[in-house]
Chain A
Amino acid sequence: MVQWKAEERAAIQAVFAKLDYESVGRETLTRLLVVYPWTRRYFGGFGNLFNSEAIMANPKVAAHGIVVLRGLEMALKNMDDIKNTYASLSELHSEKLQVDPGNFQLLGDCLTVVIATRMRTEFTPDIQAAWQKFLAVVVSALRKQYN
């Protein structure tokens, strides 16, 4: 089971407290689709994803950004048992959505970059470490049901 130090819990709570789900969600997904364009394969029903202006303005991208962050919030609320909390989400991503799990890391990296633009120097190395540890646990839990 993952062990969390008090400072790590506090750091991760601090990151979430400042998260504007709408703005951060939209920009994170935009960066994913721009920086790693092959990820557009999973969003065929989203309409115009041809350039970053279109992606940024796309209402389905914005809506989905919020969905993703709400999903992360579930992990935040169940930090001591993320694996089981995510069992059905993992199955959804592997069986129904058939997402290559390598992409989870890419989305996590984009989210980290967006958080860095918002928090700036407040996103200290220690907070970054705790945050990335949290993302690593989330990614691992999402990969669990793949076989």
Chain B
Amino acid sequence: MSLSAKDKAAVKDLWAKLSGRADDIGQDALSRMLVVYPQTKTYFSHWKDLSPGSAPVRKHGKTVMSGVAEAVSKIDDLTSGLLNLSELHAFQLRIDPANFKILSHNILVVLATMFPTDFTPEAHVAMDKFLCALSLALSEKYR
């Protein structure tokens, strides 16, 4: 299920439209993840406030989305492009990779709420494939 030229174009096209709101997207996706999938809170026991839109959630949303932005710029070779991020997730953060799917789902839901007309079925499939490929690249160094 690798990214075709059409998929990459669709992702870059959509990203151009939404990058201005990247911080809002990150914050909203993370907020939803923590509420809808409470088991994900186990990774953030060091935060004072895990409620939707809180300061740590907003800050971390920005961090996550800058990673996504980096992935968009390296869409032609995600595996080598995201090696550092993969090492971070594998050796330091040690996040169970099953959670990548969960966050990806919430990113898609947020895109649907914020860009209902741009998030067409074609944009949806391209973005879903991209986030899967991103997650796979992030898992690269796990074992």
Contacts and interface: CB of A to CB of B under 8 A. Distances in A.
B121 A128 contact: no
Given A125-B36, A128-B32, A128-B35, A52 B121 contact: yes
Interface residues of A, number: 24
B122 A132 contact: no
Contact of A34 (B113, B114, B122): B122
B77 to A, nearest CB: 24
B113 A123 contact: yes
Given A125-B32, A128-B32, A132-B36, A31 B113 contact: no
A3 interface: no
A16 to B, nearest CB: 18
Nearest to B28: A125
B141 interface: no
Contacts of A15: none
Given A109-B105, A121-B113, 13 more contacts: A34-B121, A35-B124, A52-B120, A55-B121, A56-B121, A113-B108, A113-B109, A117-B119, A119-B113, A123-B109, A123-B113, A125-B36, A128-B35
Interface of A: 27, 30-31, 34-35, 52, 55-56, 109, 112-114, 116-121, 123, 125-126, 128-129, 132
5 pairs of A and B residues whose beta carbons are closest in the complex = A116-B112, A117-B116, A125-B35, A34-B121, A35-B125
